[in-house]
Amino acid sequence: MANLLWLADVARQAGLDVEECDDWTTRGRTYCTMRPKGVVCHHTAGPAAGDMPSLKLLITGRKGLPGPLSHYGLGRSGKVYVVAAGTANHAGAGGWKNLDSNCDVVGIEAENTGKDPWPKVQLDAYVVLVAAICDHLGIDTSMVAAHREWAPSRKPDPHSIDMDDFRGWVQNVRSGTPAAVAPPAQREPDSVFEIGRVLVSRRINDFHPDVRRAQGLLAAYSAVGPGSMDGVAGPKFEKSVQAFQQQKGLVVDGEVGDITWRALEGAD
Ligand SMILES: [Zn+2]
């Protein structure tokens, strides 16, 4: 029975860009019913070009391993593809904590060749998606595993992600800690953006939970869309802050200082 009918809503409510694949609500293996208490993170080892070139494979499977091969696909752009609401052939033999079956774990296949660097926007979306799943299931963040932790002798994925760091970022998102995902040290922001009392990078694609919260609040104004709710203080976000400030008769500076925060929070 394909019973994980919440997959799309949970991702959308986390502010992610979501595409629902045809027939996802009825897609799944039938050898058992999903009873998820954990999450397994993968990379596709798929082609280098395109946002989610492995999507068809995730749906139909491959010779010797029928699809679906995951519940979610995660594109290079951070877009979430909802593949199947039922049991998926993704984790296989192995285990994590007290879990040992595909029916115990939600599977996410993130598009990556298996050696390319992760785009920051994709990695950020990965963290946000996993946090949203954990919140929905009411499970501890320690129940999130890499496939290589589930099956150490067989699997390398997801490559180059330190899972203790990853679980730490997930936990930060879940607890609303600022600077949830540590920005790569080698990049210097060229300007900063005031949000509440913290300064965040304006130019580079750095996820910030306060920005995401502000985007969620801005979305309550039908006339003022926040663009994508990506937690990034980019130009679209600034424009939508300015539109909001204009509408409320505030100083239009595009920054979310104390006054604008208060206006946003009293919004609905
Ligand atoms: Zn895998």
> What are 180-204's pLDDT values in tens digits?
454 443 233 334 555 554 555 444 4
In DSSP notation, 42-104 reads: EE----SSSS-TTHHHHHHEETTEESP--SEEE-TTS-EEE--SSB-SSS-S--BTTB-SGGG
Q: Which of 28-32, 38-42, 75-79, 204-208 has the lowest mean pLDDT?
A: 204-208
CA of 82 to the centre of ligand 1 (A): 17
Residue 206's pLDDT is what? 58
Q: Is residue 181 part of a domain?
A: no
Q: Are residues 96 and 224 in the same domain?
A: no
Q: Is residue 70 part of a domain?
A: yes
What span, in angstroms and rounded, lies between the C-alpha atoms of 110 and 154? 18
Q: Are residues 95 and 223 in the same domain?
A: no
CA of 70 to the centre of ligand 1 (A): 9
Beta-carbon neighbours within 5 Å of ion ligand 1? 42, 147, 157
Q: Are residues 85 and 56 in the same domain?
A: yes
Q: Are residues 51 and 160 in the same domain?
A: yes
Distance of CA 103 to the CA centre of its chain: 21
**Sorting pLDDT into bands at 50, 70 and 90, what band is 226?**
low
Q: What crossing angle do the helices spanning 258-265 and 235-248 adopt, rounded to 10°?
A: 80
Full domain range(s) for residue 163: 7-175
